[in-house]
Amino acid sequence: VQLQASGGGLVQAGGSLRLSCAASGRTVSNYAMGWFRQASGKEREFVAVISRNGGNTYYTNSVKGRFTISRDNAKNTVYLQMNSLKPEDTAVYYCAAERGIGVGVVHTTARSYDYWGQGTLVTVSS
């Protein structure tokens, strides 16, 4: 499956952005989908994940209550709605897909994922 992330940009602190991850080549319903981010000079970190059937989601503590992951399997797209953005959210955001797991299973480690998008830059100014 090929993944294309989009929706990044420059926003002021407190603002919102919605990232999209469009999948092609395979139906996205076969995959758990995650979002990761990598700030300059730092390691890639987990942000959010949604299970194949959308029934299970999980977030890193720093974004709970501010970010929402969702999926539209009919459109083969996964979203990350980001509200109340903070300067520390500045990073390149990557979507990723994990194949071959149960419909309700989610993983938070990058090595669990089989396919990665190219990343989209989110910059939050103070």
Per-residue pLDDT of the chain (126 residues; tens, 9 = 90+): 999 999 999 999 999 999 999 999 888 889 999 999 999 999 999 999 999 999 999 999 999 999 999 999 999 999 999 999 999 999 999 999 999 888 889 999 999 999 999 999 999 999
CB contact at 8 A, 9 and 54: no
Distance CA 34, CA 48 (A): 6
Q: What is the dihedral of CA 44, 50, 52, 53, to 10 degrees?
A: 180
Closest CA to 80 of 95, 92, 65, 90: 95
Residue 110 DSSP symbol: G
